[in-house]
A = this chain, B = another copy of it.
Amino acid sequence: MLRLLLALAFLAATAAAGGGSGARPILRSMVPNAPIEVSSGAGDAADADALFCDSWMLSVETGNAGPWTAVPTRCLASVLAYMEGDRYASDSAVVAADSLAFASQALAAAKGAAKPAWVFDIDETLLCNEPYYAVDATRMLTFNETSFDEWVDEAKAPALSSSLKLYNELLELGFHVILLTGRSEFQRNSTEANLLFAGYRSWEKLILRQPSDIGKPAVQYKSERRAAMEAEGFKILGNSGDQWSDLLGSPMATRSFKLPNPMYFIS
């Protein structure tokens, strides 16, 4: 990457013009960040990788990264450590708390409207496939449909615990819960088995890709299905997904909630 440009010019300009600001501290964000990139030993390199990978993960979550094909190789270990540790659990729990806070208030505001609905994606939203990727981190570099389909057939993916909690809270509030997944119709039985194994109950419908949906971008496929839900009288107040392609398009839910997923990208 191109860094270090303008560093001296910027510092010189700041020094020349900044007579009145002598007492202000110089923040890291105000100076070119060469020290982050230039390392003199293994520890420094590991620190630089950790810092970069944290920032890369944020860029994925905000959508700044745009379409991407694979986790940067230097971040494979960071991503697995994130998924296995406190941060993923905590980040997911905060999304669930945000979702529940909105749900209660939206339901009150929508009183008397059409059937209130909440749409959930499945993979990395209700179910956690980290154990599949943890077997071999390079599975995050190239998607292997055969081995992933075998994992799906096992139907043993655990629940993301904060999502299971939210799911049950939404049912208690009276939401119609609709599951909309990029998985294919032939995986219906294993998907239902896995959802039950993980503790999910009482969904209104489980929508999977039909043969006519194969090859459609997720945004198109999922938008079409949300439009069909609205035509059936559902009012989609909330939508939870780990990919922006679960959430964007038209129509959108009243509020959309992006769960973290630094393992893979779906357009």
On A, residues with C-beta under 8 Å from B are: 1-3, 5-6, 9-10, 13-14, 17-18, 20-21, 24-25, 27-33, 36, 51-52, 54-56, 58-59, 61-66, 83-95, 97-100, 102, 128, 130-131, 134, 154, 156, 158-162, 164-165, 168-169, 197-199, 255, 257-258, 260
Partner of A87, one of B30, B32, B54, B92: B54
| Min CB gap A83→B, angstroms | 7
Question: Are B58 and A94 in touch, CB under 8 angstroms?
Answer: yes
Partner of A36, one of B33, B90, B131: B90
Question: Are A27 and B94 in touch, CB under 8 angstroms?
Answer: no
Question: When chains A and B are docked, how far (Å) is the Cα of A134 from the Cα of B93?
Answer: 29
Binding site secondary structure of chain A:
helix
Partner of A161, one of B17, B21, B30, B169: B30
| Min CB gap A1→B, angstroms | 6
Question: Are A156 and B63 in touch, CB under 8 angstroms?
Answer: no
Question: When chains A and B are docked, how far (Å) is the Cα of A134 from the Cα of B55?
Answer: 23
Question: Are A98 and B61 in touch, CB under 8 angstroms?
Answer: no
Q: What is the total number of copies of this protein in its complex?
A: 2
Task: Please indicate the chain B residues that have their CB under 8 angstroms from the CB of A130 in the complex.
Answer: 27, 29
Question: Are A54 and B95 in touch, CB under 8 angstroms?
Answer: no
Task: Please indicate the chain B residues that have their CB under 8 angstroms from the CB of A257 in the complex.
Answer: 64
Question: When chains A and B are docked, how far (Å) is the Cα of A108 from the Cα of B170?
Answer: 47
Partner of A31, one of B32, B52, B134, B161: B161
Question: When chains A and B are docked, how far (Å) is the Cα of A130 from the Cα of B115?
Answer: 46
Could you pull out 12 A-B pairs where Cβ atoms are within 8 angstroms?
Answer: A6-B164, A20-B156, A24-B156, A27-B83, A27-B128, A52-B90, A52-B94, A54-B90, A55-B90, A62-B258, A64-B94, A65-B98
> Given A28-B84, A161-B10, A199-B6: A95 and B59 within 8 A (CB)?
yes
Task: Please indicate the chain B residues that have their CB under 8 angstroms from the CB of A56 in the complex.
Answer: 94
